[in-house]
Amino acid sequence: MASVEHLVDRPDDPLPPGGRCVTFRADDGVALRGAIFPAVNAPARGTVLLLHGRAEFIERLYETVRDLQVRGFTVATFDWRGQGGSQRLTGNPAAGHVRRFADYGRDLQAALDTLMTDLPQPWWLLAHSTGALVATLETRRLTGRVQRAVFTSPFFGLGDFGISEGLARLLAKSLHAGGFGRSWIPGGTATPVHAGPFEGNRLTGDPVRHARNAALSRTETGLTVGSPTIGWLAGAFRAMDRVFSDEALDAYRLPTLIFAAGADRVVSNAAIERFVVRTRSTELIVVPGARHELLQECDRWREQFWAAFDAFVPGTSPNENV
């Protein structure tokens, strides 16, 4: 069963207008919690499919949803399997685990085929971190259905965690082969990543938004997960290898605007730049000073994002030539 089958409404971050919760299933039977938020002005300019990062859940994105609604977009979003209100995959619900990243592709396909049914055209994509990695890995499912994509801090490489990516890959591969796939990464805990103190956090420089998200994680424990598992990290590295294969890079055709946060220590900006250089349909904007969660950042950085988003996602016609 899904962990949570409703949407939480909080006074400090209220449920976006018209929001409704739905439960749908991937083709392997895993239950997923989704939500649809109609545009506040009719007719809608289209629909944005919002893909979360690791350990996120629908309620953390309410502010972003409202920002999209007032721009005239309907928003569809869902919790990836193993996190948020979707079905957990291990006996320990706090473990951030997935068997393989290709299973996230099942979730994405189910959202396109079920959650998005009858929602206003054209369709656009806004994906963060792990969500952007999955979208890139599964671009064949999106091409021809989504007009354009916007990525924030895509997880194309490991950031600064005091260990080189090469060593992290070796450890993840060795421990996974040794049968520790469902165990925490070394040093991992059940503590939700968003519930820690503001000082030293890697995600945002905005103390107000950080406090709001930390309070949400502390009170809505049924939605949170802790550190990733060995299996999750090993799967992420395999997904990156597929994304950076010559064949995949040459085949990437989805028009995509990518934002890198200048002060990001969670993902590798060098890897993001390498992806943009190697692909033909991508553009890169670096936001100096911003941390990993650009849409949870201070207003001066969020405003830069929305100005570029508004120029890139016109939301005009489903037959737009892009």
The structure tokens listed for 198 are: 């503001």
pLDDT, tens only, 261-318: 999 999 999 999 999 999 999 999 999 999 999 999 999 999 999 999 999 998 554 3
Q: How many CB atoms lie within 10 A of CB 274?
A: 15
Amino acid at 127: A
Q: Tell me: pLDDT of 66 over 60.
A: yes
Distance, in Å, from the CA atom of 97 to the CA atom of 100, rounded to the nearest integer, reads 9
Question: Which pLDDT belongs to residue 5?
Answer: 75
Distance, in Å, from the CA atom of 64 to the CA atom of 209, rounded to the nearest integer, reads 12
Distance, in Å, from the CA atom of 263 to the CA atom of 240, rounded to the nearest integer, reads 22
Output the DSSP codes for 232-299. Answer: HHHHHHHHHHHHTSHHHHHH--S-EEEEEETT--SB-HHHHHHHHHH-SSEEEEEETT--S-GGGS-H
**DSSP one-letter code for 228:** B
Distance, in Å, from the CA atom of 93 to the CA atom of 64, rounded to the nearest integer, reads 27
Provide the edge-to-edge strand list for the sheet that holds 47-51. 20-25, 31-37, 74-78, 47-51, 123-128, 146-152, 256-261, 282-287
pLDDT, tens only, 181-202: 999 999 999 999 899 999 999 9
pLDDT, tens only, 105-125: 999 999 999 999 999 999 999
Mean predicted confidence (pLDDT) in 222-241: 96
The structure tokens listed for 124 are: 């656009």
Q: How many CB atoms lie within 10 A of CB 277?
A: 10
What is the domain class of 20-312 according to CATH?
Answer: alpha beta
Q: 264: Cβ–Cβ under 8 A, 6 or more apart, which residues? A: 153, 159, 202, 290, 291, 292
Closest CA to 127 of 313, 278, 2, 304: 313
> What pTM was estimated for this model as a whole?
0.95
Question: Which pLDDT belongs to residue 42?
Answer: 79
pLDDT, tens only, 3-29: 567 999 999 999 999 999 999 999 999
Amino acid at 247: E
Amino acid at 279: T
Q: Where are the domains of the chain?
A: 20-312
